[in-house]
Structure 1
């Protein structure tokens, strides 16, 4: 599946407070907190803002190429397929010559508010954030308003840039896990 991701993040959130706001706005929890793990690979040739991600979401495993064209709400393009096994796909990618530049873990709790997908992401070393993802930009802004989140508080930077806001170079961390 290929397409544009329409998403924005509210940084430094309190997961229980956000859960309450989502519920009060009429949203529902769709998947409880789960550990997600991923391998991140450079493309060949390496292109700034483009990478390959193999991710185990706790419910399925996907392989995708992500490309950041801008930091706008519609600046991320993703081509993704579902694969059968995290371990077997990692082994297959190694056979093709792709070596992961990093292993990363995060915890995610998923919600919906109408057609909008809301993810509370907890990553090692940084405060949790809320990701608002929808089928178009207007839905992102409408969901933020329903949650009482000022649009000026939202950012559409990717996780690497979120880490840099906290003074951490995510690309230099080969193994990012929870303690």
Structure 2
């Protein structure tokens, strides 16, 4: 299962961070409205789940496994699928019921070999996500933007919401 090297910097000022990314040579590659269904593989096991996501440009089906909260603690296997609703129906036929539906808005950039995303989700402050080829590259790109390694978290979305006192597992629909 491939390792995802990703770090988040929470509670950012989106306009200021976007300007910093551009000032450091980043290139804006687009804005997306994304929607996803999340399914338990084994009910109650929050370390591994299925995600069906529509970015507006691509629909993917992913198994995510959290091995730790480190930058390199998430492992994932992903395939592209054709149809969001039909894939949801297929998963239902296989016995999977979506435990939640979630939306977010994302502004995407490329900076020094990394994918840098400004993510806005309902009910919590906007955060920055940096994904790169290695944990060292995530830390390096964060440094280019004025952040230190201690500013980064590898926590998943459930834990990020928990930081703001929100139990994401109890919210079946998270919409704007």
TM-score, normalisation: structure 2: 0.97
How big is each residue's C-alpha offset from its partner over 1:112-161, in whole Å with a ceiling of 9 and x where there is no partner? 10210001100000000000100111111110111011221111101110
Could you tell me which of 87, 90, 93 is aligned with 1:89?
A: 87
| CA–CA distance in structure 2, aligned partners of residues 120 and 48 of structure 1 | 25
In the TM superposition, residue 46 of structure 1 has moved relative to its aligned partner by 5.2
Tell me which residue corresponds to 1:3.
Answer: 2
Moved more, 37-46 or 90-99: 37-46
Give unpaired runs (5+ residues) of structure 2: none
Q: CA deviation at 1:14?
A: 1.2
Q: Deviations over 1:85-125 (max 9, x none)?
A: 11110111111111100000010111010210001100000
Pick from 45, 58, 68: which aligns with 1:70? 68
TM-score (norm 1): 0.95
SS of the residue corresponding to residue 124 of structure 2 reads coil
Structure 1, unaligned runs of 5 or more: none
The residue correspondences of 1:32-111 to structure 2 (distance < 5 A) are 32=31, 34-44=32-42, 47-111=45-109
Distance 2:57 2:112 in 1: 21
- Aligned residue pair count: 176
Counterpart position of 1:164? 162
Structural RMSD (CA): 1.0
Structure 2 CA distance for aligned equivalents of residues 49 and 21 of structure 1: 34
Name the SS of the counterpart of 2:155 in structure 1: coil
Q: Does 2:119 align with 1:124?
A: no
Which residue does the alignment assign to 2:151?
A: 153
| 2:24 equivalent to 1:29 | no
Distance in 2 of aligned mates of 1:122 and 1:47: 26
